[in-house]
Amino acid sequence: MTDIKSLDLNLLKALDALLETRSVTRAADKLGLTQPAVSGMLTRLRDALNDPLFIRTQRGILPTPRAESLATPLRMALGEIQKLLVAETFDPARATMTITMAATDYAQKAILLPLMTALRTEAPGIRVAVRPVDLPQLSHQMEGGIVDLALITPEMAQDTMRSRKLFDENYVCVLRHDHPASKEKLDIDRLCTLEHGIMSHDGSRFWGATDEALARQGRSRRVVVSVPSFMVLIDLVRYSDIMALLPERLVEGCTDLYVCEPPFEVSGFTKILAWHERLQQDPAHSWIRERLAGLVAPRTGCRHSSTDLQSH
């Protein structure tokens, strides 16, 4: 019995051409080879399959029953091999797959929400599984296929990851819409007299980008609560006298909140999309990356901001 390990797959292409043309000459033309080369391949095929395969006649060559039995499965096998060599096309409307993303609650609101809205219309068969960002394990999770995409900051990305910048984010001052301070100009003096809330990933920090900006001016504020979720912080602002400096994209469209520019410069942060090199050429993942980036494109005139890992 012939072992596939020792069989030249070019011989199978030659056999297919011989079965189709029933002529060594025409098979050679089809394959772009010389007639002696195809005759030599036929000899090797006979030895490999232990069958004459073709009998010479006045009109060409006639396949043996063994050769005829190979015609259909051979054509199908060569077709499947050809598919492996052709770049896969991706049809989002017909795709069925699950994408796993690592994202903070900020990224879930600002980035995943518009993505999911688009997917339900354009690619309803794509599911998205969201996990928290486990920075120490993220690189291993991507390498092992546990996480496909990560919405992080540039400082979180490692050398094993591919990435693209999504946008720069700014901080804005946020109070409930009927807060007493919302009726007047919120200058730095008034801001420092108010009670503040802050988001930190483990809820233990009471210092962030705003405090650094204030310290540069010799000022400070009173942070009375630290929570590990921007969504919780927004509700605290909404239902109390606490104010917060929050990423601008989180409070867009919140008509029950008072939003204004900070009365001093506060460093924002940059969001990037990261993935492992193994997914770089995958058509489905390429489409999702492009679609996501288009949905959260930077705004015209958005001011440049730097990254503060403790505040997002």
Locate the domains of the chain by residue range: 4-85, 97-169+270-311, 171-267
What lies within 8 Å, CB to CB, of 42 at 6+ separation is 14, 18, 24, 53, 54
What pLDDT does 82 receive? Answer: 75
CATH architecture for segment(s) 97-169+270-311? 3-Layer(aba) Sandwich (3.40)
Residue 63, phi-psi category: left (phi > 0), alpha (psi -120 to 50), beta (remainder) = beta
For the domain spanning 4-85, the CATH number is 1.10.10.10
What pLDDT does 101 receive? Answer: 96
What pLDDT does 273 receive? Answer: 97
Q: Residue 223, SS3?
A: strand
Residue with tokens 């399959």: 49
For the domain spanning 171-267, the CATH number is 3.40.190.10
On whether the CB atoms of residues 61 and 17 are closer than 8 A, the answer is no
The pLDDT tens digits for 23-42 are: 999 999 989 999 999 999 99
Task: Tell me if 4-85 shares its fold with 97-169+270-311.
Answer: no
What pLDDT does 305 receive? Answer: 32
What global pTM score does this model have?
A: 0.68
What pLDDT does 150 receive? Answer: 97
What pLDDT does 64 receive? Answer: 93
Distance (Å) of CA 220 to CA 97, 179, 189, 199: 50, 21, 10, 17
Q: How many CA atoms lie within 13 A of 255 on its CB side?
A: 0
What pLDDT does 87 receive? Answer: 61
pLDDT < 50 stretches in the chain: 1, 300-312
